[in-house]
Amino acid sequence: MTPLNRRAFLAQVSLTTAALSVPQFGFSSAGRPPEFTETEIIHGRIRGTRQDGVNIFKGIPYGGRISGDRRFRRPAPLEPWTGVRDTLQVGPPAIQAPRRNEPAPAEDCLFLNVWTPANDNRQRPVMFYSHGGGFVIGSGASASQDGSNLARNFDVVVVQTNHRLGLLGFLYLDELAGSDYAGSGNMGMLDIVDGLKWVHDNIARFGGDPANVMIFGESGGGAKTSCLYTMPSAAPYFNKASIESGPGVRMTPKEVAAETTAMLLNKLNIAPKDWRKLLEVPAADLLTIQAKLPSVAPFVAKNNKKPLMDRRAGGFAPVVDGVVLPHHPFDPAAPALSRNKPLLVGWNEDEYTFFAWERKDTEFAKLDFEGLQKRLDPQYGEDTPKIIAAYRNANPNASAPEIFVAVSSITMMGLGSVDIAEKKVKQNGAPVYLYNFGYKSEKKIPGTDYPMGTPHAMDISFKFNNEIPPRDGSAPKESFFGGNRPERFAASHNFAELWTTFAKTGKPAARNAPAWPAYNLKTRPTMRISEQCEVITNRFSEELLMWRSIGRL
C-alpha cells in the first residue's frame, strides 16, 4: 500500500462515508415539545423549529428540478408555493449510497439548511459551508457539522447546501450537447453558486447580512471553496473564505474531462451522437457505472516530481472549461478575482491517521526505519532517502511510524495549503492566514496502539463547536474522533471563535489565543490550534526546504 498524498486525497475522501455519518450530537432538549417559527422568503412562507435559542430551517428548496430533461443542465425555475411550507426535515442528498439518518438520495436534491439565533434584522455574519466527501458523496446534513452551536454561542447565521455530485454534477458535455448544456462539467459548483445567490436574496429574513458572507469547507468542501474563490458567478456573493484540509490548487482540464465522457459513453454502449440516451438512464444505473470508472480523478505529475500537474480521465470533479471555471484555482497564481477577499487556509497535523482508520491500515504502525524506506519508495523513488533524512533531522525523537504519518499528512494536505498561502501573499492584496489544527485525540486506530492524534475530518466537529458538554448536564459522551479528554472542549471553543471572528471581521481572533499575524514570506507565521493556541514562525522550515529542493512544492 503506497502512502496517500494530496494528488489522490479527493479519490480517497470520496470513499469515506463513515466519517460523514458520525453519531448524532445531543443538540435538542430531550422531552420538550418543539416550538415552531415562521418566516417569509421570496418563494413563499416556511415553518421551522426553535430549539434552545436557535431557529432551524431544514430542507428549504433553493433550486428547481434537475431531473428528466433538466439532467446535466441548469435547474428549472423554482415555483412559488402557497400556504406555509414545512422546513422541518433535511432534504434528500445528491445521488450516492444511502446515508444514515437522512432521506434516500435523489436526483432532485437542491435543498439547504439554515441555523440562526433569530429571524430579526440584526445583520449577523453568514457562514456558508460546503460539505466534504470529495465531489461524489456527502450532504449538508452531516451531524458533525450541525450549525446550532455556532449560531447559539457566537451569534452567526450558518447555511449548508445539498448539491449535485459525481457524474450528475460534473459530466462534461459541452462539446457534444450544445448551448443548453454549457457549463455541464460544473453543474455541482453552479448549484452552490445558486445557494449563495439564495443567501443574497433571502438571508436578511433570517437575521443575516447578505453583504458579509464567508464561504468555507473541509476536504472536498475545501476544494469546492477553492473553486468558488475563482468563479466569476460566485464573486458577488461572498467576502471571505476558508480552505480547510482541501487545497484545490488545480482542477480537471476540459481535455481530460472529455476523455472521461468518452469512457462513460463507451461503458454504456452509447455512441457520442446518441448522447441524449444519457437522459434516459436511471440515476441508480449511472451511480453503478460511476463506481466502475477510475475513482475521483487524482492529480498526476507529468514528470513524477512536480505535484498537481494533471488529472487522469475517469473521475468527476470541477472542469476548467474557461467560462464557469476560467482557470485553475491557484495555478499559476492566486485568482485576481478574489484579490481583496481575506483567506484562511490550513490542515490537520495527522491527516493520514483518518485514512489508516478508513482503510484498516495497521501495518504503518509496525514500521521500523528500514520498513519506512520500503513504504515510501513506491511514491518517492530516489527522493526517499532525502525525505527520511530531513524528517529525522528535524524530528530526532520521532519513530518511523510518526515520520510516515508526518510525511503522508503534509503531502496530502499541507504542501497545497502552503502553496496557496504563498501565492495569496504574492498578490499583495487581502491577507491570508495559515493554520495547523493540532489537538491530539487519545483514541487508538483499531488494531494498533497508535493514537488518532489530529486526523483528517476531526476538525469539522471542533470548528462547529460541537465538542461541548451536553446542555442537560449529563456526562459527556466520547467524541467520534476526538476522544474523551475534557481539553477538547477548550480546543473546540478556540477553533469556533477564531472562525466566527474571521466571519465577522475578516481577521481571525479569540480571547484565549495570541494575536494571529497574516502570513508572510519572511517569518511565515502559522497558528497552531488546540486547547492552547500558539503562533509558530517558520514552522516545518526544514521539511519545506527539502520538499522545494526535490520539486514537490
Report residue 130 as a C-alpha cell.
460546503
Report residue 336 as a C-alpha cell.
485576481
Distance separating alpha carbons of residues 477 and 88, to the nearest angstrom: 26
* Cβ proximity of 109 and 164 under 8 Å: yes
Distance separating alpha carbons of residues 91 and 62, to the nearest angstrom: 11
Please state, in angstroms and as integers, the Cα–Cα distance from residue 455 to each residue in 439, 538, 553, following that order: 10, 23, 22
Q: Which helix (H) or strand (E) holds 200?
A: helix 187-202
User: How many separate helices (H) and strands (E) can be counted in the chain?
Assistant: 16, 19
Distance separating alpha carbons of residues 522 and 353, to the nearest angstrom: 31
Q: Any idea what the Cα angle at residue 445 is, between residues 441 and 451, rounded to 5°?
A: 35
* Cβ proximity of 160 and 225 under 8 Å: no
Q: Say what angle helices 369-380 and 400-409 make with each other, to 10 degrees.
A: 20
Q: Is 360 left (phi over 0), alpha (psi -120 to 50) or beta?
A: left
User: How many other C-beta atoms can be found within 10 angstroms of the C-beta atom of residue 552?
Assistant: 20
Q: Is 44 helix (H, G, I), strand (E, B) or coil?
A: strand
* Cβ proximity of 157 and 207 under 8 Å: yes
Q: Say what angle helices 384-394 and 541-549 make with each other, to 10 degrees.
A: 170
Residue 152 neighbours by CB under 8 Å, 6+ apart: 52, 53, 54, 117
Q: Is 193 helix (H, G, I), strand (E, B) or coil?
A: helix
Burial of 475: CB neighbours in 10 Å, binned 0-12, 13-18, 19+: exposed
Q: Which helix (H) or strand (E) holds 111?
A: strand 111-116
Report residue 41 as a C-alpha cell.
422568503
Closest CA to 217 of 157, 274, 134, 153: 134
Give the residue carrying C-alpha cell 522550515. 541
Distance separating alpha carbons of residues 135 and 185, to the nearest angstrom: 12
Reply yes or no on whether 492 is catalytic: no
| CA-derived radius of gyration, the chain | 22
Which of these is catalytic: 142, 148, 219, 233? 219
Residue 386 neighbours by CB under 8 Å, 6+ apart: 546, 549, 550
Residues identified as active-site: 219
